[in-house]
C-alpha cells in the first residue's frame, strides 16, 4: 500500500467494472485495492465514470449512480473556475486535451505524486506529478 496520494483516472475505475476484459478488470481492481487509502479523484472523474458506465458498459442508470457514489467516497477535488483556467493554460502549453489537462491540474491541486491512467504517456512529468500506466 502506498503512503503518497495517487490521482486515479476514469479508465482505472471503468476497467474495474468492465467484465469484457477480465485481465484489465482484475488489474484495475488490484490497483484500486493497493492504493485505496491514497486515492484522490475529481468531479470530472465522477461525471466521466457515469458516462462510461451508461454508454460503454451498458449499465442501467441506477447501477451507474451506485458506481459513482462508491468512487465519490474517495477524496474529491472540485473542478472550479481556477482549475478550469489552469487547465486551459496547461492544455496550450503542454499540447494536451482540455480534459487531460484538467486531470493533471486536479492531481497537482490535490498534491498527488502520481496519476494512474492509460491516457497520458507513462513517465511524463508535470511538475511533481508523474504519470504511470497501470496497464502497461
In order of their start, the domains of the chain are: 6-132 (3.40.50.1010)
pTM summary value: 0.95
Question: pLDDT tens digit string along 50-59?
Answer: 999 999 999 9
pLDDT for the residue 3: 61
Helix pair angle (43-55, 98-109), 10° resolution: 130
What stretch of H or E contains 114?
strand 114-116
d(CA 95, CA 121): 12
| Assigned C-alpha cell, 72 | 465519490
Mean pLDDT (10-residue bins), the chain, 136 residues? 84 97 97 97 98 97 98 98 98 98 98 97 97 96
The neighbouring-strand residues paired with 39 are 6
d(CA 98, CA 78): 16
Q: What is the DSSP letter of 1?
A: -
pLDDT for the residue 6: 98
Amino acid at each position: 500500500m502506498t503512503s503518497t496520494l495517487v490521482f486515479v483516472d476514469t479508465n482505472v475505475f471503468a476497467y474495474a467494472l468492465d467484465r469484457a476484459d477480465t485481465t484489465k478488470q482484475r488489474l484495475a481492481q488490484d490497483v484500486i485495492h493497493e492504493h485505496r487509502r491514497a486515492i484522490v479523484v475529481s468531479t470530472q472523474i465522477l461525471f466521466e465514470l457515469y458516462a462510461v458506465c451508461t454508454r460503454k458498459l451498458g449499465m442501467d442508470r441506477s447501477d451507474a449512480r451506485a458506481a459513482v457514489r462508491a468512487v465519490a467516497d474517495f477524496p474529491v477535488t472540485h473542478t472550479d473556475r481556477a482549475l478550469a483556467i489552469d487547465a486551459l493554460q496547461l492544455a496550450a502549453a503542454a499540447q494536451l486535451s482540455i480534459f487531460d489537462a484538467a486531470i493533471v491540474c486536479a492531481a497537482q491541486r490535490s498534491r498527488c505524486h502520481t496519476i494512474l491512467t492509460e491516457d497520458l504517456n507513462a513517465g511524463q512529468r508535470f511538475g511533481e506529478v508523474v504519470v504511470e500506466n497501470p496497464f502497461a
